[in-house]
Amino acid sequence: MRASFNDFTKKFSGKVFIVFSIDDKIKNEEVIGQIASEIKRLSK
């Protein structure tokens, strides 16, 4: 997985995030803020 994530990052200049969900609820909620920050960074 690491190699494909690195390829994505090089190709699109964006980070890859993994969202874990159980019973349709996000378990690693801290990733939401990281995703929002990355979207803002890429929007500039």
pLDDT score at 44:
87
Question: pLDDT of 1-44, one tens digit each?
Answer: 999 999 999 999 999 999 999 999 999 999 999 999 999 999 98
pLDDT score at 7:
97
pLDDT score at 21:
96
- Predicted TM-score of the model (pTM): 0.78
The structure tokens listed for 10 are 């090089």
